[in-house]
Amino acid sequence: MSSLSCLCDADDVPQTSRAPIAVDTSVLLNFLKAQRLDLLRACGARLVIPAEVRGEVRRPDQVVALDAALSAGWLIEETMTATAEVALFAQLAARGTLGVGERAVIAMAVSRGWGAALQDKPACEEALRRNKVVELHSTESFVREAIRHGVIAYEEADALLLEWRTQHRFRSLLTSFRA
């Protein structure tokens, strides 16, 4: 997966010239579970969740946090409307191997020329199969950018990685963000 190229810190998020990033449920939930949506915001890109992703966030505390981010305007919810993305979403659904959020993120990212924040390997492979130059992001890449911009220290990031692994069934090849 490619790494993010962040342009600002979490307290100063201007509109940038970089492509927006469609964010999947898995990535979003990792930050919601840790109560650290600020680490997503640190990248400075326009972050978009498809309506399908919002529908997968069900825990009341996570819905409240998500609604706050949407109300603040740094996270945006959008619906697929273009014929090409709706058709791609349907093609992906017919294959039956990806979740609804992953299908929506891939359809939006590929059709709109955006980045895609996906955690699962099969979803990343499908996105690259559909568009060989799609910019991929992950939970880890968002945390790496937040570290680079001083939003989170290595020690705290490693503690977060441990929390995700032990409390939230998170799988990663990383053992530390220092590596």
Which pLDDT value is given to residue 16? 52
Cβ–Cβ < 8 Å for 105, 118: yes
Which pLDDT value is given to residue 124? 96
**Domain boundaries 21-167, CATH class:** alpha beta
Domain ranges, ordered by start, for the chain: 21-167
Which pLDDT value is given to residue 10? 36
Structure tokens at 159: 């503690």
Per-residue pLDDT of the chain (179 residues; tens, 9 = 90+): 333 333 333 344 334 557 899 999 999 999 999 999 999 988 889 999 999 999 999 999 999 999 999 999 999 999 999 999 999 999 999 998 999 999 999 999 999 999 999 999 999 999 999 999 999 999 999 999 999 999 999 999 999 999 998 888 788 878 899 97
- Which amino acid is located at 79 in the chain? T
Cβ–Cβ < 8 Å for 3, 115: no
Torsion of CA 127, 157, 47, 14, to 10 degrees: -140
Which residues contact residue 162 at a Cβ distance below 8 angstroms, ignoring those fewer than 6 apart? none
The burial class, CB within 10 Å (0-12 / 13-18 / 19+), for 60 is exposed
Q: How many CB atoms lie within 10 A of CB 67?
A: 14
Which pLDDT value is given to residue 86? 97
Angle CA 1–67–157, to nearest 5? 40
Cα–Cα dist 91/12, whole Å: 39
